[in-house]
Amino acid sequence: MKKLISLLVLLIFFNFSYSQNRVGDTGFISFTIEEENDQIDFVIADTVLNTQKPLLLFCQGSTPMPLFMDVGNNRIVPMPLGNFDLEEMRKHYHVAVISMPKTPMIVEYGELSEQYFYIGNSGSKNPTEEFSLADYIENYVRRANVVIDYLKTKDFIDFTKLVVCGHSQGSRVAVGIADANEDVTHLGLFAYSYERRIDGIIRKIRAQAEKGEITWEEADAKQSSQYEFYKRVLNDDSLKIRPHLTSWRSFSKSTIEELASLEIPVYIANGSEDISCANTDMIPLYFIEQGKTNYFIKRYSGLEHNFFPIVDGKPDHKNGEWKNVMNAFIEWSLDN
């Protein structure tokens, strides 16, 4: 599998063109790789690339969040890396993140949904059809490998070490990259679930009934609805009229075998209140079956999916812990 992907990357390499630019006064440099049928934008969180450091590639979650938002008055705000302590991360790594497929690198506020993902000028509350058709794991892994191969040609990257990490859906992508690319030396997974995407929804419905938020009869009805939805996900005819199901089918494959087969150090961090990651408790069993000890699991008590504390049953968005969570991973990556 790894050799096949490397060969495919080499075969299409000569169809690429490249460019790089500083992104306003954000402290980022952007790169664009033009392909025949795609454009891959990515950024490095620095403006002076004359110091050789290893690469840390961060894979963002499931929504088409742009890399930057133009808020007017010549102000451009970084988005997926905005929660991190970049100053600390830059001491040790060149930090990179790739734009989501079919998603502009910089967008205006009016082009975003209430959840801050790109919808363009469609007036819809849903991602664009172009994004939905490109939103599958094999595409993310391919695009990441194109970027990695490009950066291998740059003197400012020390490729004796390559750290790949991801959050939520991005953690599944990170597993795919680590499995496909022999250059990856360290893997970090945040809010990672190896099961089908729909499993977390089914589990959440049960939890609602257990807490008394809904009746068991209501839980039965909700779960039955999800089962019917999953049938459509696996129906080829459904994909033709519902392009967003492409992503659902892609991310309905377990990644636990890929994860357990890795020989590199693996770091896994989840919040105790993130029910979608309840299966984290089972992950050591798969490593034990393989006779492996190359993993570390950290549970953050009282935090939810995005590492916000739960106060009175709701996320406290003013006191997020992402900086501490990521810095703990950075420290681990330096010692392992």
Burial 26-37 (b: 16+ CB within 10 A, else e): bbbbbbebeeee
pLDDT of 237-296, one tens digit each? 888 888 788 899 999 999 999 999 999 999 999 999 998 898 999 999 999 999 999 999
pLDDT classification of 116: cutoffs 50, 70, 90: confident
**pLDDT, average across residues 211-232:** 96
10 or 180, which is more confident: 180
pLDDT of 163-220, one tens digit each? 999 999 999 999 999 999 999 999 999 999 999 989 989 999 999 999 999 999 999 9
Strand 75-78 versus strand 68-72 pairing type:
antiparallel
Burial 106-130 (b: 16+ CB within 10 A, else e): bbeeebbeeeebbbbeeeeeebbee
Q: Give the tokens for residue 297.
A: 């699991």
DSSP state, 276?
A: G
**Phi/psi class of residue 200: alpha, beta or left (left: φ > 0; alpha: ψ in -120 to 50)?**
alpha
- Which has the minimum average pLDDT: 76-90, 136-150, 233-247, 298-312? 233-247
Q: Considering the chain, what is the average pLDDT of its residues?
A: 91
pLDDT above 90 for 20: no
Residue type, 49: L
Torsion angles phi and psi, residue 234, rounded to 5 = -90, 5
Q: How far apart are CA 330 and CA 321, in angstroms?
A: 14
pLDDT classification of 8: cutoffs 50, 70, 90: very low
pLDDT above 50 for 80: yes
**pLDDT, average across residues 117-134:** 86
pLDDT confidence of residue 16: 54
Q: In a 10 Å sphere around its CB, with 0-12 CB exposed, 13-18 middle and 19+ buried, how is residue 147 labelled?
A: buried
- Which has the minimum average pLDDT: 14-18, 75-79, 121-125, 262-266? 14-18
pLDDT above 90 for 18: no
Contact 96, 43 (CB under 8 A): yes
**pLDDT, average across residues 121-129:** 82
48 Cβ contact list (under 8 Å, min separation 6) = none
pLDDT confidence of residue 10: 41
pLDDT confidence of residue 21: 82
